[in-house]
Structure 1
Amino acid sequence: MSVISEFKQFALKGNVMDLAVGVIIGGAFGKIVASLVDDVIMPVVGKIFGGFDFSNLYVPLNGQSADLALAEAKKLGAVLAYGNFLTIVLNFIILAFIIFQMVKFMNHLKTADEPAPAAPAPTPEDIVLLREIRDSLKK
């Protein structure tokens, strides 16, 4: 079998196609969550904690003033931009929670579709009699 035909067989398997679709949808979903965090949640959190933008939080590392905007401070030297990191961490937590809920829901659907295990079949009468004879012989 040639390498090309092996690759074609591998690439057209259902699992590989499902994975590709999952990665594409996951990337798009990540952008939705990023927009939710950046455009909806962080402005509200910033308003609650004093009306500032989290993405502009930083610590200057070369002695410049911390009163500048982050973009201007980066032009003047090194900065520790922890506000953007906080936004990305919140992004990750929301995304992980949503994925957890989706997996939990899918597992619930999977177990709901499975029929309950059937009761064990009754033991045939001849086996019951043989067991009684065995137990009697042991006594």
Structure 2
Amino acid sequence: MGMMQEFKAFAIKGNVVDLAVAVIIGGAFGKIVDSAVKDIIMPIVGKIFGGLDFANYYLPLNNQDPTLPLVEAQKLGAVFAYGNFITIAINFLILAFIIFQMVRILSKLKKDEPVEEAATAEDILLLREIRDSLKK
């Protein structure tokens, strides 16, 4: 079998196609979670903590004015942008929790599927008899 035929057989297997679909859906889902955290959750958390915008929390490392917005401070030199890190960490936790729940549900569904019974000794004996009679 040529290499192209082997690759074609590999590429059209269900697992590879399923993985490709999962990566695409996961990327889109990640954008949804990112938007939910950035546009919905973090503004609420910021409001609870006194109307603060976590995305602009940073420590200046190059003697910048700490009252500058993060983007402006980054233009003037290095900053330790811990507010952005907090936002991304919350994003990760939400995404990890949702994926955990999805895996948990899928594993419960797989447990409910009936498992094929292994061939019993009686079935094996019958199959051997048929094989032996066909040999004759």
* TM over 0.5, shorter chain: yes
1:94 counterpart residue number = 94
- Alignment map for 1:1-139 (pairs within 5 Å): 1-114=1-114
| CA RMSD after TM alignment | 1.3
Q: 1:10, 1:112 → 2: CA distance?
A: 30
Q: 2:35, 2:51 → 1: CA distance?
A: 19
- Residue 74 of structure 1 aligns to which amino acid in structure 2? Q
Q: 1:102, 1:62 → 2: CA distance?
A: 44
Q: 2:108, 2:45 → 1: CA distance?
A: 34
SS in structure 2 of the partner of residue 5 of structure 1? helix
In the TM superposition, what whole-angstrom CA distance separates every residue of 1:36-77 from its partner, at most 9, and x where no partner exists? 100000000001011011111100001122100001101111
TM-score, normalised relative to structure 2: 0.81
Q: 1:39, 1:12 → 2: CA distance?
A: 39
- Residue 61 of structure 1 aligns to which amino acid in structure 2? L
Q: 1:66, 1:16 → 2: CA distance?
A: 50
Unaligned runs of 5+ in 1: 118-139
Q: 2:10, 2:18 → 1: CA distance?
A: 13
Unaligned runs of 5+ in 2: 118-136
SS in structure 2 of the partner of residue 99 of structure 1? helix
Q: How many residues align?
A: 116
What percent of counterpart residues are identical? 66
TM-score, normalised relative to structure 1: 0.79
SS in structure 2 of the partner of residue 67 of structure 1? coil
Higher Cα radius of gyration: 1
- Residue 107 of structure 2 aligns to which amino acid in structure 1? N
